[in-house]
């Protein structure tokens, strides 16, 4: 009779042999279908399975690299036949590594080899394959004097960015990225390809614009484009403020947000570690799509409430594409080199137009940043980014609440809470989670118990628990569940924050 530990060894070896055989069979089918794919035994697997956020180290069953929509269909059909969960990876910037499965054992469909962009000069519609990143899209469309609303980071993939919203400097003028979508070309869970628009597959079209990866893999997006502005500049006003004064500044910003701000102005407040205990670095920044000489008068309503800034700058050569470069912070929009991974944690909070922050909440928030924020380890870097979604003349809030599954149309501003390791190879401490949890709580705990705040899915957080669906999808969640049941009844497209 074998000793018990010997039996256990035999079981483990047998299990590993079965897993290895299954993985090899999967890879064989994918490669035989003409789809380059890598598994755990391949040399390329380590880099191919690497997440943008290095807190996560998931091990996919395989990573497939299709080069066409037809190849995506084949890959999905193969993965579904093996009862695998399947995820799409456009740029791979999911904050919680949903693009590598969000767990071990998923089939990753990496779209990075699908980078065609076709612009129709008659209809002004651009068809963009989802392997493109924001920098690619901005550069290509600018050649025809066109643009779409999108975020600032050049390396973010257009697929996920569009699926969950897509906010950037032109969003008050043009809307969210998903608001520019006229049609989506999608591969469903059984491998079939459909075109979703207002005329066909209407429920799918609604659901994909706000929660897309739960329902299918977008292979290309048809965007209504806009003529680029004649003028474009990026501005920065920076102050070092005591926490109490920073709270007053935040109140002034919130008041300014409700004045008659032109849609051509984007506004952010960038908060970071102060120079001394009890202080906060407070930056008022954004873009202005009008003549440079008019900027001072446009921001006067806020700047006049503030002390003299420590620094002021207005950057850019005046062209739209240079403003995109300036906002991206890289010096260019070239995404041909490998992206740089980080190790971080992020949260978000959406403040509704009808539920502005109370004086008490603003004092609590700035007090927390001035105290706990200045005590954060030198090994970590943090910022809080307050993004003006709404206010007067905003295109975002002019779209009907039920037009898309993006649920937070009433948002005045979104706050992103972010903390990262200076050295991405260092271990991420529990104190990083505690600091951001405390920052959010410093606001929420000082607001009414029935305050209808939310969260922004592009800053996805996997530590929200059962409250996540309400924060992200609000009243839209039940309809999203119905669409999910109709188009993906076997839950093929599943990841930690997917619609279930």
Contact by Cβ (8 Å): 445, 349: no
Query: Is 280 in the same domain as 419?
Result: yes
Sheet holding 36-38, edge to edge: 36-38, 62-65, 107-110, 86-89
User: Percent of the chain, pLDDT > 90?
Assistant: 95
Domain count, the chain: 3
Mean confidence (pLDDT) of the chain: 96
- pLDDT tens per residue, range 202-212: 999 999 999 99
Query: Is 269 in the same domain as 378?
Result: yes
What are the CB-based long-range contacts (under 8 Å, 24+) for 419-422?
419/344, 419/345, 419/346, 419/376, 419/380, 419/381, 419/382, 420/342, 420/343, 420/344, 420/345, 420/380, 420/381, 420/382, 421/342, 421/343, 421/344, 421/379, 421/380, 421/381, 422/378, 422/379, 422/380, 422/381
Structural domain span for residue 274? 232-461
pTM: 0.95
Q: How large is the average pLDDT for residues 294-310? A: 98
Residue 496 maps to a domain: no
More confident residue, 49 or 6: 49
- pLDDT tens per residue, range 5-22: 666 565 555 444 444 556
Contact by Cβ (8 Å): 484, 500: yes
Q: Kindly report the CA angle at 24 between 21 and 25, in degrees rounded to 5?
A: 85
State residue 9's pLDDT score.
62
Going by pLDDT thresholds of 50, 70 and 90, the confidence category of residue 408 is: very high
CA pair distance 498, 490, nearest whole angstrom: 13
Of 110, 131, 147, the position where a domain reaches its end is 110
- In CATH, what number is assigned to the domain containing residue 381? 3.40.462.20
Of 81, 110, 139, the position where a domain reaches its end is 110
State residue 23's pLDDT score.
74
Query: Is 308 in the same domain as 378?
Result: yes
- pLDDT tens per residue, range 99-127: 999 999 999 999 999 999 999 999 999 99
Q: How large is the average pLDDT for residues 69-98? A: 98
Q: How large is the average pLDDT for residues 480-486? A: 99
Closest among 62, 57, 114 to 85, alpha carbons compared: 62
- In CATH, what number is assigned to the domain containing residue 38? 3.30.43.10
The pLDDT of residue 496 is above 60: yes
- pLDDT tens per residue, range 110-169: 999 999 999 999 999 999 999 999 999 999 999 999 999 999 999 999 999 999 999 999
Query: Is 420 in the same domain as 357?
Result: yes
Query: Is 250 in the same domain as 365?
Result: yes
Closest among 89, 113, 15, 100 to 53, alpha carbons compared: 100
């Amino acid at each position: 009779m074998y000793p018990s530990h010997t039996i256990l060894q035999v079981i483990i070896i047998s299990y590993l042999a079965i897993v290895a055989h299954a993985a090899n069979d999967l890879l064989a089918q994918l490669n035989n279908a003409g789809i380059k794919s890598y598994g755990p035994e391949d040399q390329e697997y380590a880099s191919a399975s690497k997440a943008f956020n290095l807190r996560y180290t998931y091990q996919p069953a395989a990573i497939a690299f299709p080069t066409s929509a037809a190849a995506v269909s084949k890959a999905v059909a193969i993965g579904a036949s093996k009862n695998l969960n399947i995820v799409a990876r456009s740029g791979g910037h999911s904050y919680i590594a949903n693009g590598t499965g969000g767990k071990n054992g998923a089939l990753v469909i990496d779209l990075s080899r699908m980078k065609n962009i076709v612009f129709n000069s008659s209809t002004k519609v651009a068809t963009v394959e989802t392997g493109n990143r924001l920098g690619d899209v901005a550069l290509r469309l600018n050649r025809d004097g066109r643009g779409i609303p999108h975020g600032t980071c050049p390396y973010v993939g257009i697929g996920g960015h569009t699926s969950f919203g897509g906010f950037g400097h032109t969003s008050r003028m043009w809307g969210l990225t998903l608001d520019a979508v006229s049609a989506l070309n999608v591969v469903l869970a059984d491998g079939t390809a459909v075109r979703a628009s207002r005329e066909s597959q209407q429920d799918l079209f609604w659901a994909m614009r706000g929660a897309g990866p739960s329902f299918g893999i977008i292979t290309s997006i048809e965007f209504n484009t806009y003529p680029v502005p004649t003028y474009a500049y990026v501005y920065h006003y920076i102050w070092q403020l005591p926490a109490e004064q920073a709270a007053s500044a935040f109140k002034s910003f919130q008041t300014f947000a409700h004045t008659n701000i032109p849609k051509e102005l984007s506004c952010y407040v960038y908060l970071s570690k102060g120079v001394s205990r009890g202080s906060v670095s407070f930056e008022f920044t954004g873009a202005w799509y009008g003549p440079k000489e008019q900027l001072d008068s446009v921001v006067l309503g806020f700047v006049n409430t503030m002390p003299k800034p420590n620094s002021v700058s207005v950057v850019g050569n005046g062209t739209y594409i240079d403003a995109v470069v300036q906002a991206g912070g890289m010096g260019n929009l070239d995404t041909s080199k490998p992206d740089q991974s980080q190790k971080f944690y992020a949260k978000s909070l959406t403040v509704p137009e009808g539920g502005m922050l109370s004086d008490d909440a603003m004092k609590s928030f700035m007090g927390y940043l001035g105290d706990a924020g200045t005590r954060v380890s030198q090994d970590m870097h943090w910022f809080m980014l307050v993004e003006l979604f709404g206010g007067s003349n905003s295109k975002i809030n002019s779209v009907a609440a039920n037009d898309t599954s993006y649920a937070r149309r009433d948002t005045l501003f979104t706050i992103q809470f972010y903390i990262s390791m200076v050295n991405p190879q260092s271990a991420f401490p529990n104190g990083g989670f505690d600091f951001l949890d405390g920052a959010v709580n410093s606001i929420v705990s000082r607001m009414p118990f029935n305050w209808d705040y939310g969260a922004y899915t592009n800053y996805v957080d996997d530590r929200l628990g059962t409250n996540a669906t309400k924060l992200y999808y609000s009243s839209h969640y039940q309809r999203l569940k119905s669409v999910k049941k109709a188009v993906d009844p076997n839950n093929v497209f599943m990841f930690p924050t997917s619609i279930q």
